C-alpha cells in the first residue's frame, strides 16, 4: 500500500482500470474526507451525505471500468463534479421540500478561536460572531453558499471551483462577490456585528 500511496492519481486510475482494486482503495483513502465534507456541507444531512458519497464513488468506478475516464490531472475535481451533479439531482427531486437544516452544522467561517489567546469574554464574543455568520451563510442561495464553503473550507482556487461547479471563473467570482454583499446586507439588516471592536 505504501507504494500505491506514492503514485499519482492518474497512475492509480490506470492501475485500477487494469484490475488492481487496491489502487482504487488508495484513491478512496486519499479523497474520502475532503469529498464527504463537501457533500455534507451542501446537504446538511449525514445519511443523505453518505448515500451521495457512495453513489459518487460507484459512478467513478463504473466510468473508470468502462474506460470513459479521461486523464487530465484533475481527479479530485472530477470526483467533486460527480458529487455536485448528484447533489443537484437530489435537490431537484426534492424541490418542494428544499428546506435544509443547519442546526447540527459545525461550519465556522471565522475559525480563528484556536489561534487566539484571548479572554473568556473575547471567546464568548467570537463564538457569538461565528454563530451569527453561520446563520447568515445558511440564508445565502445554494450556489453562493457552495462557493463560500469551497473557497474557505476546502481552500480551493476559483479555477477549481469553476471546474467543479461547471461554470466560468467569472461566474464563480461573481457568486462569491454576491455572497459577500449579501452577508454584509443581511448583517446590517439584522444588526449583526461581525468583528470585534
Give the per-residue pLDDT at 130.
Answer: 66
> For residue 23, which of 69, 87, 81, 86 has the smallest C-alpha distance?
69
Reported confidence tier of residue 115, pLDDT bands at 50, 70, 90: very low
Distance separating alpha carbons of residues 174 and 158, to the nearest angstrom:
10
Q: What is the pLDDT of residues 120-178, one digit of tens each?
A: 655 666 666 667 777 777 888 888 888 888 887 677 888 888 888 889 988 888 888 88
8 Å CB contact between 67 and 20: no
Give the phi and the psi of residue 67 in degrees, each rounded to 5: 75, 20
Q: Can you say whether the dihedral through the CA atoms of 28, 55, 155, 162 is positive or negative? A: positive
* Fold exhibited by the domain 2-96: Rna Polymerase Sigma Factor; Chain: A (1.10.1740)
Residue 146's Cβ-count burial label (10 Å; 0-12, 13-18, 19+) is: buried
Where in the chain do CATH 1.10.1740.10 domains reside? 2-96
Rounded to the nearest 10°, the torsion over CA 115, 120, 126, 131 is 120
Reported confidence tier of residue 110, pLDDT bands at 50, 70, 90: very low
DSSP string of 37-102? HHHHHHH--HHHHHHHHHHHHHHHHHHHHTT-PPP-S-HHHHHHHHHHHHHHHHHHHTGGG-----
Where in the chain do CATH 1.10.10.10 domains reside? 113-189
Q: How many CB atoms lie within 10 A of CB 160?
A: 19
> For residue 142, which of 35, 43, 37 has the smallest C-alpha distance?
43
Q: What is the pLDDT of residues 12-64, one digit of tens each?
A: 888 888 888 898 889 889 989 999 998 998 888 899 999 999 999 889 888 88
Q: Can you say whether the dihedral through the CA atoms of 9, 11, 16, 22 is positive or negative? A: negative
What is the CATH number that goes with domain 113-189?
1.10.10.10
Distance separating alpha carbons of residues 171 and 5, to the nearest angstrom:
35
Amino acid at each position: 500500500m505504501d507504494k500505491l500511496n506514492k503514485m499519482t492519481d492518474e497512475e492509480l486510475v490506470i492501475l485500477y482500470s487494469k484490475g488492481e482494486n487496491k489502487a482504487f482503495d488508495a484513491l478512496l483513502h486519499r479523497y474520502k474526507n475532503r469529498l464527504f465534507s463537501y457533500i455534507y456541507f451542501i446537504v446538511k444531512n449525514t445519511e443523505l451525505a453518505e448515500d451521495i458519497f457512495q453513489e459518487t464513488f460507484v459512478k467513478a468506478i463504473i466510468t473508470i471500468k468502462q474506460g470513459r475516464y479521461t486523464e487530465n490531472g484533475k481527479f479530485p475535481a472530477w470526483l467533486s463534479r460527480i458529487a455536485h451533479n448528484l447533489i443537484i439531482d437530489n435537490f431537484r427531486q426534492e424541490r418542494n421540500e428544499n428546506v435544509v437544516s443547519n442546526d447540527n452544522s459545525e461550519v465556522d467561517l471565522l475559525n480563528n478561536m484556536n489561534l487566539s489567546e484571548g479572554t473568556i469574554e473575547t471567546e464568548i464574543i467570537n463564538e457569538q460572531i461565528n454563530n451569527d455568520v453561520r446563520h447568515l451563510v445558511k440564508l445565502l442561495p445554494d450556489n453562493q453558499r457552495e462557493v463560500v464553503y469551497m473557497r474557505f473550507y476546502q481552500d480551493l482556487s476559483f479555477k477549481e471551483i469553476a471546474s467543479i461547479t461547471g461554470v466560468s471563473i467569472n461566474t464563480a467570482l461573481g457568486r462569491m462577490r454576491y455572497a459577500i454583499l449579501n452577508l454584509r446586507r443581511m448583517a446590517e439588516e439584522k444588526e449583526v456585528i461581525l468583528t470585534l471592536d
